[in-house]
Amino acid sequence: MEYRPLGKTGLDVSVAGLGCGGNSRLGLGRGASFDDCVAVVRTAVDLGVNFLDTAEAYGTEEIVGAAARSYDRNKLVISTKAIFRGGDETAERVTAKVEASLKRLDLDYVDVFHFHAVGPEAYAHHRDVLAPALLRLKEQGKVRHVGITETGPRDPEQKMLAKAIHEAPWEVIMLAYSLVNQGARRAVFPVTLKRGIGTLLMFVVRNIFSNDAYRRNVFAKLVEQGQLDASIVSDGDPLGFLVSEGGAESITDAAYRYARHEQGADVILFGTGSKDHVRANVESILRPALPAPVIERLHATFGHLSGVGLDLPGPVKT
């Protein structure tokens, strides 16, 4: 495993981070038992993954907490999140939600606590009304670092982050980034690198990379809309060159490697409910960067796209 600093937090994190939500939710999404889900987390940690990201909304905090008890707590970096809806949410609610997460995790503190899926219209309330409560909890040692995550599918232009990355108190952000959703390369990473904000990348691999029929359908629509040239779909799989020219094991493998080696990317989050997939995902994230000509082609072909591949968890329509 490779490790790097998470911005200026002082935390050293694995470049591969286990995301405990998405469709899989560590296996809960397919009806796996609690113990089987715990085993997925342990598999990741045993491979060197020390960054574990969960959330109240995922229903996996208890699983992460149970798995964490098998290891030295000081060697794990545990992140969780909570959603606050509407302008009537109070600082007291923040305290209550953090305490509830700590109870489910069976921990005295979390390394990062995020406001979860914050849209542009709700950002000011989170910053001005709710964040001071997180800072008080940080003073108490219950939260080590303060984070915020975007709502990629509902804010594809990353308007919320465009403000947040320039302001206190955010030490860590979670954002959507992939080889067909590259906006952060221009608008976010230059600022986070300069200001020392830690970055957690989500939506790195989604259905557009793992589902052939769905991918072809998405690209066909992009051609119809005039966002891509028709030649992209004329020779079969529009991303097939990643394997044939890029030397990738698969399109998914290429997607992980593209994000992993982007300047400004700290942790590449992956989600799964399978121990075998844990190993495969970690192996991809640890492989070398794609060849420079392939990366240049990705930037030239898809760099202008916004919001592509940001499907929410749920059934895929092909």
Q: What's the mean pLDDT in 40-45? A: 98
Domain contains 289: yes
Query: By C-alpha distance, which of 217, 224, 221, 11 is closest to 110?
Result: 11
Q: What's the mean pLDDT in 233-247? A: 91
Q: What's the mean pLDDT in 231-235? A: 86
Phi, then psi, of 181 in degrees rounded to 5: -145, 75
Say how many domains are in the chain. Answer: 1
Domain contains 313: no
- Render pLDDT for 158-167 as a digit per residue (tens, 0 to 9): 999 999 999 9
pLDDT at 318 (0 to 100): 44
Structural domain span for residue 130: 3-302
Contact (CB, 8 A) for 191 and 282: no
Domain contains 317: no
Cα distance between residue 37 and residue 254, in whole Å: 27
The residue assigned the tokens 């990348």 is 201
CATH of the domain at 238: 3.20.20.100
Domain contains 68: yes
Domain contains 179: yes
